[in-house]
Amino acid sequence: MTESTPEERTNLGDKIRLSRLDCSPTAPRPIARTAHYVTQSMGVLRAYLPGMTRRESSKAAVSSGGSGGLLFRSFLLCVATPSIIMLFYYTLWASDVYVSEAKLTVREAIEPDGRASTTSTGASSIMAKIGLNKGGSTAQDSMIIQDYLKSRSAVLDVGGRAKLAEVYDHPGIDWFSRLDSSSDIETLWSYWKERVTVSVDGLSNILTLRVRTFSSDSSVALAQELVASSEALINNISRRNREDALRRANSEVERSIAALAEARSQILSFQQRNKTIDPVQSAKQVASLVSALSLKKIELESQLVAGELSGVKGRPGDRYVQTQLDVINQQIVDLESALTGNSAGAVSTLLKDFEILKLREQFAEQIYMLARTSFEEARRKLDRQQLYVVVIVPPMEPEEALYPRPLIDAGVIFLGLLIIWGVICLLVASVRDSNTA
């Protein structure tokens, strides 16, 4: 048996590659095509390696065929069989799932003049600026409902474990979809979140509730109960907000009353201590006395000057007039000192202290009026609902089951398994290539 020449061995790899590229549009499927390429490659090897025995050639062919068969068997086991099983499950055994959908949102109450309930004017707007009359946001309320419907509180409000057992744990439901009502609360809660889904549109603040059960009656009934529970939650939150606003307004009124009473008590103590009712009136009286005395002084001085000019100076009555004039001058000096002096009993000092006390009283009175107005408004709003749950699309009884969708669900499972199987095959082939190299 002759050996192949070096040139023939050099062109061996090129001929194998050419044989792999020789495929027509009517070539076999991927797995069979792989075996076909391997068979052609082994034929080329037998042609250019005549030194190889027939037994060794048959072993190589069997080995190549075994790799293709293993790939095909792994595809059947890991991809095709599970997909077929799930297709039969969704078609023959899986329970029908009915979906009831509701859309709702939260709106504020409208005042008779067309304003929202949280809008206010005058004193109430001032109280709103300092945080005593602050309104909520409907977007935030919608998010509150969303979190509530996903929580365990919603499960307890609609009936808890007994309600879930009634809806999701009965013999008419297939074993894989049925809820085990004897499980712990965490398991029940996880099952609840799978069957009740909630979403909020960020632009319109519309909340969409979707309830999945295994009968049309239970779907619409459970959806109606959840809508009623959501409305009760918003009403409770609104009621507590109104009661809290009334309580805070009442405390502000009491504080303002105490401040006003304290200011008036200080004014009373000032009046008793200084024996004057109103320093302003006292100042006016002192000023009028000074004016009257100044007029009397001018009159007496005129008499004295007139006597001197007439040549009758030194008359017996002039001494009396001069005495009156001296007394009047002393009185004017005393009154002016009492009016504008620096002593603690001066009218100007009393007037300054009194004006400060009076200003405090006026400020406390204004605060009291604002607090009283806010309290009256809070009391008026206490009996009027401010937030409403508006049901845009009420829960409707579904006429047919939306799930399962056998072809779609099985197709999704098939594609997922195919991708995973392909990745694993590529990894195995890479490992084998690296080991061969």
- pLDDT tens-digit readout, 305-358: 776 777 666 666 777 777 877 888 887 777 776 666 666 556 667 777 778 888
CA dihedral sign of residues 349, 355, 358, 364: negative
Structure tokens at 196: 């009740």
CATH class of the structural domain 98-254+385-403: alpha beta
pLDDT tier at 134 (50, 70, 90 boundaries)?
very low
- Contact between residue 36 and residue 27 where contact means Cβ atoms under 8 Å apart: yes
* Span 23-75, pLDDT tens digits: 444 444 444 444 444 344 444 434 444 444 444 444 444 444 455 678 888 89
pLDDT tier at 138 (50, 70, 90 boundaries)?
low
pLDDT at 130 over 80: no
**Mean pLDDT of the region 131-144:** 62
pLDDT tier at 291 (50, 70, 90 boundaries)?
confident
What whole-number percentage of the chain has pLDDT above 90? 22
- Contact between residue 243 and residue 382 where contact means Cβ atoms under 8 Å apart: yes
In DSSP terms, which residues pair with 387 in a beta bridge? 108
φ, ψ at 111 (rounded to 5°): -70, 160
Per DSSP, the three-state class of 199 is: strand
- Contact between residue 393 and residue 210 where contact means Cβ atoms under 8 Å apart: no
pLDDT at 209 over 50: yes
Q: What is the CA radius of gyration of the chain?
A: 51
Beginning with the edge strand found earlier in the chain, give each strand of the sheet holding 387-393 in spatial order: 196-200, 207-213, 98-108, 387-393
- Contact between residue 369 and residue 252 where contact means Cβ atoms under 8 Å apart: no
State the residue for tokens 């020789």: 22
DSSP label at residue 29? P
- Exposed (0-12), middle (13-18) or buried (19+): which is 5, by Cβ within 10 Å? exposed
Q: Tell me the one-letter amino acid at 20.
A: R
How many Å apart are CA 39 and CA 392, to the nearest integer? Answer: 69
**DSSP E strands: which ranges in 80-216?**
98-108, 196-200, 207-213
φ, ψ at 268 (rounded to 5°): -65, -45
Per DSSP, the three-state class of 167 is: helix
How many Å apart are CA 373 and CA 252, to the nearest integer? Answer: 11
